[in-house]
Structure 1
Amino acid sequence: MITINQLHKTFGRQEVLKGIDLYFSAGEGLALIGPNGSGKTTLIKCLLGLNTVQPGLIQFNGEDIYQQSAYRKNIGYMPQISRFPEQMRVKELFALMKSIRAEESTYDLELFEAFEIEALYQKKMGLLSGGMRQKVSAALAFLFHPDVLILDEPTAGLDPVSNEILKEKLRKTIHNENKLVLITSHVLNDLDDIASRLVYLMEGRVLFDKQLTELQAETSENRLNAMIATFLRKQTSHG
């Protein structure tokens, strides 16, 4: 579905991505993690066409994404911080998005209804709490039935009930609908029931890329947090 070959990205003199090679396929729950500054957000922005690729290649369903934007219709994106016009009402935001995607006639309203977004319709985006913004952002990400979901710290600011609603939606999206879900998160416990594969970035490179079952077998741990800590300790001791 998504192929990344020798992806590099430099900002000024700082090389943020240093030759990334990855392949993501449908039906995967993929956790993209690593410390701050490891290149996670930069990689996501490259996938979304928000950063130019220099050099390297990103293909979506076999087609180079460079200088074309049609592939983005297949992606639902939930940013870590949603930047919507402060004076725009929630109702106006959804109307705008639907007008931009006028070719779509059916919508995925499961999160829209579960998060009771209609009750927020008359509120201005600038007056919403962080958690409310996250709910709006999540409902928008799923709205157009995308084949790929990219979520950057999606549970930040969500209350426990909303957190579980979102996680259940993600599980169904992966297992029942055979879609690709790519998540970055510092709250690793949130990824335990969602991720089947882990890509760990360190200083702009892929430190390891493993199925969770493989990581479990190597570390004898069950929780993602413990798996990663044990694996990294082994790497350091062997180094």
Structure 2
Amino acid sequence: MVNIQNLHKRFGKNQVLSGVDLSIKKGGVFAVLGPNGSGKTTLIKSILGMVIPNKGEISINDENIKKNSNYRHQIDYLPQIANFPSNLKVKELIKMIKDLRGKTNEDERLIDLFKLHPFLDKKLGTLSGGTKQKVNLVLTFMFNSPLIILDEPTSGLDPISLIRLKNLIQAEKSKGKTILITSHIMSFVEEVSDEIVFLLEGKIYFKGTVSKLKTKTNQPDFEHAIASILTENHA
């Protein structure tokens, strides 16, 4: 599905990615983790074509992304911060995105799932952070793309919406989709992920299951396993 070879990216003197090799097979939930500044967002934006690497290759479904931008139609992306005009109503935003990306009827189901009917006539600028995030989740999941990238998807969600998001991720996975997630919420990552990729100083420090990481770090739970990597590398 996604194949990355020897990816390097620097911003000025700051080397953010230093030779990342990563292969993500089709189907399943993969969490990209790492401390702030480890290169997570740069890696995701490179896959999306929003950041041009200094060196290395990225291919999606065996096609090099350098040579065409059509592959982006196969990706649904939830950015960490989605900025839309605050004077737009929720229903106007949903219609605008549908006009841009094509037909879908999934928005109705998702509006219902996240209980957004009372907010459809409200302007985005008046919504709470959590409600905005639910709108963004509708925009992300309403197109049937094989690759879904979620950057901090739990941000601002109440416990019930979080359960709905987890169920939604599992439902999409069961359709054979590939889902990439970044999150600081370790319990969420542990619950939804099949594999984790841990980035440290622009390189892949670990790739595998949560239980494999616990064994490798000799820690009883996931949070302690992550903490031990960080402690060990900042000692």
Shift of 1:122: 1.2
Indicate if the aligned counterparts of 1:108 and 1:145 stay in contact, CA closer than 8 A: no
Tell me, in whole angstroms, the C-alpha distance in 2 between the residues paired with 1:111 and 1:226.
35
> Which runs of 5 or more structure 1 residues have no equivalent in the other structure?
none
Secondary structure at the aligned position of 1:139 is classed as helix
- Which residue, 200, 203, 210 being the options, matches 2:201? 203
Secondary structure at the aligned position of 2:20 is classed as strand
2:164 is matched with which residue? 165
2:15 is matched with which residue? 15
1:184 is matched with which residue? 182
Bigger mean CA deviation after superposition, 219-228 or 86-95: 219-228
Q: Does 1:131 align with 2:127?
A: no
Distance change in 2, residues 1:77/1:222 (3 Å): farther
> Which runs of 5 or more structure 2 residues have no equivalent in the other structure?
none
1:64 is matched with which residue? 64
Map 1:84-233 onto structure 2 (within 5 A).
Answer: 84-102=84-102, 104-107=103-106, 109-174=108-173, 176-219=174-217, 221=219, 223-230=221-228
Q: Residue 182 of structure 1 aligns to which amino acid in structure 2?
A: L
Q: Residue 13 of structure 1 aligns to which amino acid in structure 2?
A: K
Indicate if the aligned counterparts of 2:98 and 2:104 stay in contact, CA closer than 8 A: no
Distance change in 2, residues 1:236/1:101 (3 Å): closer
Secondary structure at the aligned position of 2:106 is classed as coil
Indicate if the aligned counterparts of 1:189 and 1:223 stay in contact, CA closer than 8 A: no
Secondary structure at the aligned position of 1:49 is classed as coil
Tell me, in whole angstroms, the C-alpha distance in 2 between the residues paired with 1:51 and 1:81.
17
Indicate if the aligned counterparts of 1:79 and 1:152 stay in contact, CA closer than 8 A: yes
Secondary structure at the aligned position of 1:44 is classed as helix
Q: Residue 82 of structure 2 aligns to which amino acid in structure 1?
A: S
Bigger mean CA deviation after superposition, 204-213 or 176-185: 204-213
Secondary structure at the aligned position of 1:37 is classed as coil
Tell me, in whole angstroms, the C-alpha distance in 2 between the residues paired with 1:38 and 1:91.
37
Shift of 1:60: 0.8
Distance change in 2, residues 1:81/1:56 (3 Å): same
**Which segments of structure 1 move beyond 4 Å, counting only runs of 4 or more?**
219-222, 230-233
Indicate if the aligned counterparts of 1:201 and 1:207 stay in contact, CA closer than 8 A: yes
Indicate if the aligned counterparts of 2:104 and 2:142 stay in contact, CA closer than 8 A: no
Tell me, in whole angstroms, the C-alpha distance in 1 between the residues paired with 2:104 and 2:159.
32
Aligned residues: 235
Shift of 1:78: 1.0
Secondary structure at the aligned position of 2:84 is classed as coil
Secondary structure at the aligned position of 1:193 is classed as helix
Tell me, in whole angstroms, the C-alpha distance in 1 between the residues paired with 2:163 and 2:104.
28
Distance change in 2, residues 1:169/1:105 (3 Å): closer
Indicate if the aligned counterparts of 1:192 and 1:223 stay in contact, CA closer than 8 A: no
Give the share of equivalent positions with the same residue, in percent: 40
Shift of 1:214: 2.1
Secondary structure at the aligned position of 2:192 is classed as coil
Shift of 1:193: 1.4
Tell me, in whole angstroms, the C-alpha distance in 1 between the residues paired with 2:188 and 2:24.
21
Indicate if the aligned counterparts of 1:29 and 1:181 stay in contact, CA closer than 8 A: yes
Q: RMSD between aligned alpha carbons?
A: 2.1
Shift of 1:106: 4.3
TM-score with structure 2 setting the length: 0.92
Secondary structure at the aligned position of 2:191 is classed as coil
Q: Residue 183 of structure 2 aligns to which amino acid in structure 1?
A: S
